Copies of this chain bind each other. A is one copy, B any other.
Amino acid sequence: MKKFINDPKQFVPEMLHGLALANPDTLRYVPEYNLIHRADAPNDNKVTIIQGSGSGHEPAHVMTVGRGMLDAACPGDVFAAPPMDYIYETTKLMSSPKGVLLLVNNYTGDRMAFDMAQELSEADGVKVRTLFIDDDVSVQDSTYTVGRRGVAGNFFVMKAVGAASENGADLDELMRIGEKVNSVTRTMGLALTACTPPSKGSPLFELGEDEIEVGVGIHGEPGRRRDKWAPANELVEELLEAVVSDLPFASGDRVALMINGLGGTPISELYLLYGIAHDKLTERGITVGRNYVGEYCTSLDMAGASLTLVKLDDEIEALLAAPAEIAIRVF
C-alpha cells in the first residue's frame, strides 16, 4: 500500500488535525470524539445540523462543516460507523434549544448507532430528530443496508437544510425540507478501480484490467453487475437511464446535475462526463438548472464517478443557491 499515511490507526485523527489547522478561524476539533464543529456552534438561535458517517468519503462530511452547511461532523474510522458514544457526546455538546438534526446515510451500522444516540440524548432532554438519506438507485437492499444506500446525493440534503437553518427554520421545517430533497434526489455510480482502506492495506475487491463495477457502493459494495469497460458515452447513458427512469424525471423537468468523483479520478474526466450528461439531458427535454462537478462524496482512492439528479422547484433551487462557506476552497 502506497499512501500518504503514518500509522493507519491515526489516519482519521491526523487528517482531522490537518483540517482544523487549515481552518483556524472557522473550525474546531475535539479529538476525544473525532468531532469537527463550527467555531460558532452551538448557536442558540438555530437548529444544530450534524452529519455522521464512516470516514473515507471526504470531503463528506468533515470538510462540509461551515456556515450554510453542517454545524458539526461526527466521523467514524474509515468505512466504519461512528461509535454510539461519540454521537451521543457530540449531540449533547452541540445541542441547541431549537434542537438538533442528525443527518445519516442509510447504512445499518450507522442507523443503529444514531438511533441509540438519539434515544440517550432525548433521555437527557435534548430535542433531536434524525433524517435518513437513501438516494442510490443501483440496488434495493445491499451489503450494509436494508433499503437503498445513501451516497453523493446527501450533499443536496445537507445544503438545503443548512441554508434553511441559517434562515431560522425550526426542526419540523428542516425535516420537511430534508425529506423533500431526499425524495427527489437519485444517484448511481460506477467504479473503474477498487479502493484501499489504510488498515487493510490492499484493495477491498478485485477488478480486472478491463472491468468496471456498475452501480458500485461508496464502500466498494457490489452494484448491479460487473462488466467490461466501455467508452464514456455509453457509461453515462447507463447511469443517466438508471437515474432518470427511477424517479422518473421527465421532459420539462428542471434539475441539478452532479458529476461526483470517487477519489482517484481527475477533474478533467469529470468535466468530460459532465458535458456528455448535460447534452443527453438536453436531448430528453430536461433542463440543467444547476451543476456540480468535482468530489463531494468519495471512496478513498477509488477511480470512478457517480451521477446525481435532483428535481428542482423554486424552494429547492433557492436553498441550493444560498451562500455557504466550508473548508473546501481554492482561494
Write the residues of chain A forming the contact surface with B, with a CB cutoff of 8 angstroms.
2-7, 11, 14-19, 21-22, 55-56, 58-59, 63, 159, 192-193, 209-210, 212, 229, 231-233, 235, 263-276, 278-279, 288, 291-296, 298, 300-301, 303, 305, 320, 323-324, 326, 328-331
Contact = CB atoms under 8 A, between A and B. Distances in A.
24 contacts: A2-B210, A4-B192, A4-B272, A6-B233, A14-B275, A14-B276, A15-B268, A19-B274, A21-B274, A21-B279, A22-B271, A56-B268, A58-B267, A58-B268, A63-B267, A264-B264, A265-B301, A266-B298, A267-B298, A292-B330, A294-B329, A320-B331, A326-B330, A328-B330
Given A21-B291, A58-B267, A59-B330, 16 more contacts: A2-B193, A2-B212, A2-B229, A5-B272, A6-B232, A6-B233, A15-B268, A18-B275, A19-B271, A22-B291, A55-B268, A58-B266, A159-B331, A264-B266, A323-B331, A326-B330
Contact of A273 (B18, B63, B266): B18
A6 B231 contact: yes
Nearest to A269: B4
A118 to B, nearest CB: 27
A303 to B, nearest CB: 7
A214 to B, nearest CB: 13
B6 A330 contact: no
A58 B267 CA distance: 7
Contact of A268 (B229, B300, B305): B300
Contacts of A270: 4
A291 B328 CA distance: 11
Interface centre among A56, A63, A301, A331, by most B CB within 10 Å? A331
A18 B264 contact: no
Contact of A275 (B2, B15, B295, B305): B15
Contacts of A264: 264, 266, 301, 303
A101 to B, nearest CB: 20
B330 A271 contact: no
A266 B295 CA distance: 9
A84 B47 CA distance: 57
Contacts of A6: 231-233
A231 B21 contact: no
Given A58-B267, A210-B2, A17 B275 contact: yes
A21 B280 CA distance: 12
A291 B231 CA distance: 38
A57 to B, nearest CB: 9
